Structure 1
Amino acid sequence: MGTWDTGPFDNDVAADFGGKLDALPQDQRAAAIREALSEAAECDDYLDEVIGTHAIAAAALVARELADGAHFVSPAYGPQQPLPPLPPELKALAIAAIDRTVAADSEIAEEWGDPLEETAWYQGTLKLRAALAPE
């Protein structure tokens, strides 16, 4: 996977996910976002890097649409086509997907190192989570 920074769309897999959303009819985009979040949130086994990457990208789109988190989505690599209105319950699913993605048995988390080291990826991902679940 080509990675150029630590943001949700700063790698080839996430950029491809944005392109996949653009290729779908608008009425299918929310379902694709839900599917990406659900696949990660409901994973009971070791979480594959691609699934985790899609989940983080999908969570960033939920934050952009429902939690004033536009800064989480790269205008160059995120979807270029507008999303339909996203249902508010996707916020809770996005939080669950993030929590699963940063868990110890996640390939993407393993690649970014120990969360106790507070890497830029972990810090950015935790900021994304906080945008979805403000105190």
Structure 2
Amino acid sequence: MELEYPDDLKYLDTHEYIRLDGEIATIGITAFAIDQLGDIVYLELPEQGESVKAGEKFGTIESVKAVEDLNAPISGTVIERNEGLIESPEMVPDDPYGEGWFLKLRVDNPDEELTETLSADEYRAQVEGED
């Protein structure tokens, strides 16, 4: 199966993605991560109003295979979390880059913090080398 990595996103080597629209960042996990995890059974995300810090854990995702930490690609304040996924975590794989987002953040310093992220091509090269 060919996994997708949209070019308009930035990626972390820990398999989170970020879509930046001005000072609003949408965060989720990549198709590769979902493929590796298998069936997702639980998702823990911060509440609206909480702060997250780039490079630090902001939640966990649990599958039948493993429990993995979710790492923030950027610092900011949670303005929305995907309540539908918390209630039905098995829906994450259906549309990871669309309806499968986890958090929307109001970003502190969008230009300064994205230096550690990978382009779609860089991320693809990294994960396809892991197979």
TM over 0.5: no
Which structure has more strand as a fraction of its residues?
2
Q: Which has the higher helix share?
A: 1
